[in-house]
Amino acid sequence: ISSYLTIIISIFYLGILGILLNRLHLLSILLCFELLLISLFIGFVILSLSLSNNLILSNNLILLTLSACEASAGLSLMVALSRTHNSDLVSSMNILQQ
């Protein structure tokens, strides 16, 4: 389990590092958020399989459903913002400048 835990933690930190370093495009930020949620999902699946607990396994399905809703909402926001601002650059989307 410790090798799985180190892999999951490294994937989670890779997602955080991607958010901190690649803030140029909105799509790259959304992909890093998905990487964070997938690492949490895999961690909870491994935890539920090691503990043989079905309650945690049902919570994994809720987490997976919420991550799919987050992805669809993020992509729809990206489409709407790219239509209004003519690009998906995060620096051009400062709403307070208007």
Over residues 3-54, the pLDDT tens digits come to: 888 999 999 999 999 989 987 888 888 889 889 988 988 888 888 888 887 7
Paired tokens of 82: 């790219």
Paired tokens of 22: 């690649």
Q: Is the pLDDT of residue 97 over 70?
A: no
Q: Is the pLDDT of residue 96 over 60?
A: no
Architecture of the domain delimited by 2-97: Orthogonal Bundle (1.10)
Q: C-alpha distances in angstroms, 94 versus 10, 78, 79, 83, 90?
A: 32, 14, 16, 15, 8
Residue type, 84: T
Higher pLDDT, 56 or 35: 35
Q: What is the pLDDT, as a whole number, of residue 95?
A: 62
Q: Is the pLDDT of residue 2 over 70?
A: yes
Q: What's the rounded mean pLDDT across residues 51-69?
A: 81
